[in-house]
């Protein structure tokens, strides 16, 4: 067989090439080329799901399986089953998205609880009977009646109606219909029906994260994140509001910046799975109230002045064009509801993702971000509050802070006479991410390198310190640093500075003071809490021990603390997958009691205490 004729097979859209023996099946060639083709029935020709389009090249005649599973119209357009079709010459093979296996990408930060799939966007695969003089129903009536039991009272977007007559007749009345709510947004011939995707976005003050999910299966497919570019106008929400107020084009600028970054990370997440923006039929957006307002182009000025009212805290549905998102133009953009001026849809999403209000016992959730938002379920009532934590916990305003990318110090431990650390992907250390920051603070406090008042020990005075740690302390006064790696004396290296410690001190103090006052307001003690959830872009990675040691949380058994990852993102994804979850979010937003603690009389006293480590 070694003298068998060789052919070259090229796969689209990826351009993967492979040389194989003539007569090879497309599925075999795809495996050789590492093209991730889905073969649900194991390549037995039973399911008809491994459809590909032979764009160029000679093939063997269709097999009996292909004659059974493909229509003449499809075959006329070169559609074949990859497990059946044998290639006889060099060939160009298009692998449609529906036939592709998409791998889970960096989705570790999102934990999804199981919900029955009932998305607002639905894909229907229909096979209709053709019209006749005895059945003169219009094209749309025919289609509508075929989905009547699953989607009553379907109506159609003008654009989708325009595509209807050709789509019906291209594949012998077999079509894929995409309904957004009760409206037909797209209709495709069955063989040309693309994936049906949803986009979940968590707009943080410092970081924006996007997730792509498959709305037909409920599966998360890919994710991407980027800094919020608004950060150049100020690190916290108040400075964003001020920028909007004091610049003539302030609001449009801030809006354009967040829209732009969402479109960019969405494209990055789509590129990971070879998908197109037009396949996204719905987006679910969460963020704190200020981010929500800036995304929607709503004037945020009244958030920042008494009596601190949002323009709206209701759930908002908008067309993609109205908010500038690059996705299917007939899709829907759903912004989850907010609660108050500084407690936004992100908190609502954390609460729903964790079903806090369905628990029979008290639960506390801390969403660690630039705008710290805290939710307390007493077992009967839901309280929410916010505090200006500042961006320290997201790595901003920390001298060597960075996002959780390669080279970020993500874990620090105390060894017998020194600290040890690891970095993401074991790359050379280039900075410290959120989890590393919590760890290094815990280690510094534990070892005495930082005192309870937040003062970093001088190397000279640091007598009781472990020798390894003592060697890491350099500088004087406010320039003291605890060096992890590199030469920190001339502007390089990775280290924790005295100024960093002060930032962290303010942030944790604000969170701790707020949550203590919430507990008091609810008449609960720390011991009553059954569970404490740590959410936020870094929440999943932060070690409960470190959060306890550095005093973000009051003393409690470490087992009660659970990292829930970016629960706000999870809540946004759930709102895409389930209409019931969307209603649950609205109920949560309506029923939550907002506590204005930050402006309460005794907040400052409390804050002065909780700033201490």
Task: Name which position in 15, 116, 152, 307 contacts a copy of itself (CB under 8 A).
Answer: 307
- Residue 316 found at the interface with a copy of itself (CB under 8 A): yes
178's tokens: 């995409």
Task: Name which position in 95, 164, 517, 572 contacts a copy of itself (CB under 8 A).
Answer: 164
**Contact region for a copy of itself (CB under 8 A) — 18-26, 299-307, 452-460, 522-530?**
299-307
CA–CA separation, 327 and 281 (whole Å): 7
Task: Name which position in 58, 322, 580, 583 contacts a copy of itself (CB under 8 A).
Answer: 322
DSSP conformation letters of 560-591 = GEEE--SHHHHHHHHHHHBHHHHHHHHHHHHH
Residue 164 or 231: the one with the smaller Cβ distance to a copy of itself is 164
Task: Name which position in 318, 526, 556, 558 contacts a copy of itself (CB under 8 A).
Answer: 318
Nearest approach, Cβ of 301 to a copy of itself (angstroms)?
8
Nearest approach, Cβ of 306 to a copy of itself (angstroms)?
6
Task: Name which position in 21, 242, 299, 413 contacts a copy of itself (CB under 8 A).
Answer: 299
Strands 371-377 and 481-485: unpaired
- Residue 575 found at the interface with a copy of itself (CB under 8 A): no
Task: Name which position in 137, 233, 278, 530 contacts a copy of itself (CB under 8 A).
Answer: 137
> What 3-state DSSP class applies to 9?
strand
Interface size with a copy of itself, residues (CB under 8 A): 46
- Residue 401 found at the interface with a copy of itself (CB under 8 A): no
- Residue 312 found at the interface with a copy of itself (CB under 8 A): yes
CA–CA separation, 352 and 334 (whole Å): 16
- Residue 189 found at the interface with a copy of itself (CB under 8 A): no
Task: Name which position in 317, 446, 516, 545 contacts a copy of itself (CB under 8 A).
Answer: 317
Nearest approach, Cβ of 199 to a copy of itself (angstroms)?
17
CB atoms within 10 A of CB 327: 25
Task: Provide the mask over 21-50, with x wherever binding to a copy of itself is found by CB under 8 A and - wherever it is not.
Answer: ------------------------------
- Residue 306 found at the interface with a copy of itself (CB under 8 A): yes
User: What DSSP character marks residue 85?
Assistant: P
Calculate the dihedral angle through the C-alpha atoms of 203, 208, 209, 210, rounding to the nearest 10 degrees: 80
Task: Provide the mask over 328-367, with x wherever binding to a copy of itself is found by CB under 8 A and - wherever it is not.
Answer: ------------xx--------------------------
Task: Provide the mask over 232-251, with x wherever binding to a copy of itself is found by CB under 8 A and - wherever it is not.
Answer: --------------------
Task: Name which position in 58, 60, 166, 471 contacts a copy of itself (CB under 8 A).
Answer: 166
Task: Name which position in 323, 442, 515, 574 contacts a copy of itself (CB under 8 A).
Answer: 323
200: alpha, beta or left? (left if phi > 0; alpha if psi -120 to 50): beta
**In sequence order, which residues have a C-beta less than 8 Å from that of residue 43 and are 6 or more positions away?**
25, 27, 50, 83
Task: Name which position in 1, 158, 248, 460 contacts a copy of itself (CB under 8 A).
Answer: 158
20's tokens: 């194989």
- Torsion sign over Cα 413, 453, 526, 566: negative
Nearest approach, Cβ of 317 to a copy of itself (angstroms)?
7
Nearest approach, Cβ of 348 to a copy of itself (angstroms)?
14
CA–CA separation, 233 and 244 (whole Å): 9
- Residue 593 found at the interface with a copy of itself (CB under 8 A): no
Q: Among residues 99, 92, 85, which one has the least CA distance to residue 24?
A: 85
> What 3-state DSSP class applies to 475?
coil
**Contact region for a copy of itself (CB under 8 A) — 126-134, 370-378, 384-392, 515-523?**
126-134
Nearest approach, Cβ of 237 to a copy of itself (angstroms)?
16
Q: Among residues 32, 36, 13, 30, which one has the least CA distance to residue 83?
A: 30
130's tokens: 């053709």
| Stretch (H or E) spanning 548 | helix 544-549
Strand partners, 431: 408
Where are the extended beta strands (E) located within 171-263?
174-180, 183-189, 197-203, 207-214, 220-227
Q: Among residues 206, 541, 201, which one has the least CA distance to residue 401?
A: 206
Nearest approach, Cβ of 134 to a copy of itself (angstroms)?
8
Dihedrals phi, psi of 138, to nearest 5 degrees: -65, 160
Q: Among residues 413, 610, 392, which one has the least CA distance to residue 501?
A: 392
| Interacting residue ranges for a copy of itself, rule: CB under 8 A | 131-133, 135-141, 144, 155-159, 161-162, 164-166, 296-299, 301-302, 306-314, 316-319, 322-323, 340-341, 594, 596
């Amino acid at each position: 067989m070694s003298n068998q004729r060789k052919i070259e097979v090229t796969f689209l859209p990826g351009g993967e090439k492979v040389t194989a023996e003539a007569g090879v099946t497309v599925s075999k060639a795809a495996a050789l080329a590492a093209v991730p083709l889905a073969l649900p029935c194991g390549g037995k020709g039973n399911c008809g799901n491994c459809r590909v389009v032979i764009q160029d090249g000679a093939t063997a005649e269709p097999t009996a399986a292909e004659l059974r599973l493909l229509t003449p119209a499809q075959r006329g357009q070169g559609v074949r089953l990859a497990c059946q079709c044998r290639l006889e010459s060099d060939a160009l093979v298009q692998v449609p998205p529906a036939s592709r296996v998409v791998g889970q990408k960096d989705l570790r930060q999102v934990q999804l609880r199981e919900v029955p799939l009932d998305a607002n966007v639905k894909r229907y695969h229909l096979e209709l009977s053709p019209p006749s003089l005895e059945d003169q129903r219009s094209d749309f009536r025919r289609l509508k009646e075929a989905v009547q039991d699953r989607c009553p009272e379907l109506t159609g977007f003008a654009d989708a109606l325009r595509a209807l007559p050709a789509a019906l007749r291209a594949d012998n009345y077999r079509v894929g219909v995409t309904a957004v709510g009760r409206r037909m947004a797209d209709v495709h011939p069955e063989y040309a029906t693309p994936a049906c995707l949803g986009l979940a976005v968590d707009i943080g003050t410092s970081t924006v994260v996007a997730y792509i999910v498959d709305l037909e299966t409920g599966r998360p497919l890919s994710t991407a994140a980027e800094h919020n570019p608004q950060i150049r106008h100020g690190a916290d929400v108040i400075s964003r509001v001020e920028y909007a107020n004091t610049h003539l084009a302030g609001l449009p600028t801030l809006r354009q910046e967040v829209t732009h970054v969402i479109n960019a990370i969405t494209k990055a997440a789509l590129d990971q799975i070879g998908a197109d923006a037009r396949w996204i039929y719905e987006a679910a957006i969460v963020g704190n109230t200020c981010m929500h307002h800036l995304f929607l182009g709503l004037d945020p000025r009244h958030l920042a002045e008494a009596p601190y009212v949002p323009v709206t805290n209701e759930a908002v549905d908008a067309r993609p064009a109205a908010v500038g998102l690059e996705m299917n133009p007939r899709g829907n953009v759903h912004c989850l509801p907010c609660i108050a001026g500084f407690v936004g849809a992100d908190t609502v999403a954390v609460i729903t993702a964790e079903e806090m209000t369905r628990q029979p016992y008290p639960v506390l959730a801390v969403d660690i971000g630039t705008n710290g938002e805290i939710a307390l379920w007493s077992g009967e009532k839901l309280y929410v509050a916010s505090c200006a934590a500042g961006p320290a916990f997201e790595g901003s305003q920390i001298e060597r802070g960075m996002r959780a990318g390669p080279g970020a110090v993500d874990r620090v431990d105390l060894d017998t006479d020194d600290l040890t650390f690891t970095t993401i992907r074991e790359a050379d250390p280039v900075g410290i991410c959120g989890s590393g920051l919590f760890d290094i603070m815990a280690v510094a406090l534990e070892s005495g390198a930082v005192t309870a008042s937040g003062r970093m020990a001088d190397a000279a005075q640091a007598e009781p310190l472990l020798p390894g740690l003592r060697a890491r302390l350099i500088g004087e006064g406010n320039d003291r640093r605890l060096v992890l790696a590199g030469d920190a004396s001339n502007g390089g290296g990775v280290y924790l500075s005295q100024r960093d410690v002060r930032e962290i001190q303010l942030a944790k103090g604000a969170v701790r003071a707020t949550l203590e006052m919430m507990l008091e307001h609810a008449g609960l003690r720390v011991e009553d809490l059954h569970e404490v959830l740590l959410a936020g872009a870094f929440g999943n990675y932060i070690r409960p021990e470190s959060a306890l040691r550095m005093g973000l949380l009051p003393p409690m058994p470490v087992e009660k603390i659970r990292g829930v990852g970016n629960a706000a993102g999870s809540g946004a994804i759930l709102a895409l997958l389930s209409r019931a979850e969307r209603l649950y979010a609205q109920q949560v937003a309506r029923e939550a009691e907002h506590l204005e603690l930050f402006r309460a009389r005794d907040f400052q006293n409390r804050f002065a205490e909780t700033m201490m480590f």
